[in-house]
Amino acid sequence: MARPVAVVTGATGGIGSAISRLLSADHDVVGLYHAADEARRREWTRACGSGASLLQVDLLDSDATLELTQRLAADFQPVLLVNCAGVTADAMFRRMRLAQWEHVIRTNLLALFATTQPIFASMCEANGGLVVNIGSVNGVRGQAGQCNYAAAKAGMHGFTMSLAREGAGYGVRAVTVSPGYTDTNMIAALRDDVRDAIRAQVPLGRFAAPEEIAAVVAFLASPGGAYITGADIPVNGGLHIA
């Protein structure tokens, strides 16, 4: 019997790779990645196994992305979509350039239309499916120097809540998972003193492992998570407690 198909955007990033690897245990994973991530392609394919495939797309090209996801929806009828692609372009708002604002909003928020609409429509027709949007603790609490990123991630959860209401009658769920600071290349690239200062803010005293974010996504996709929709699941070590 054919295995269910999961589509993961930003699949070769630190969190996206962990999600793809964990889901590949019981899904055929189709990962979407950007050309800038080409060096990670072979490692991802080896880790995710023969049932996984990577497709290259620039999410800033809405027409190309929409064409791709329409094809995926028609050919594979995915039961799970994980929107994990994201970028940062940090600056204090009074010095932020319009190009920095637009790049982050277009990649992290506007691209959700093209990555999600065809697959969501296919899920509704099939009467079942799950969309998981990877948000951020800073979309909930805000962060100086990240007005663009925080706005995009906050908007993402508004999208999740509305999608959950639209999909519920068709058995389709939508959930946001909002990580705190996670031990990825982005954190590793920071100066030691900056990294230590960030870690000191976290009540649990450490960064999340990418696998811990992936485990929450896998739970949501399991029978145990079947009654969760419209929620924002925090995975932040206590950095923000609501």
Query: Annotated catalytic sites, by residue?
Result: 149
For residue 98, how far is the Cα from the chain centroid? 24
Tell me the pairing of strands 53-56 and 80-83: unpaired
Distance separating alpha carbons of residues 74 and 72, to the nearest angstrom: 5
Cα–Cα distance, 28 to 31 (Å, whole number): 10
Strands laid side by side in the 232-235 sheet: 53-56, 28-33, 5-9, 80-83, 129-134, 172-179, 232-235
Q: How far is CA 18 from CA 14, 37, 124, 149, 179, in A?
A: 7, 15, 27, 22, 13
DSSP assignment of 8-27, as one string? EETTTSHHHHHHHHHHTTTS
Enter the tokens of residue 90.
Answer: 């940090």
Number of other CB atoms surrounding residue 71 within 10 Å: 12
Instruction: Dig out the tokens for 76 from the structure.
Output: 């594979």
Which of these, 41, 139, 38, lies nearest to 88 by C-alpha position?
Answer: 139
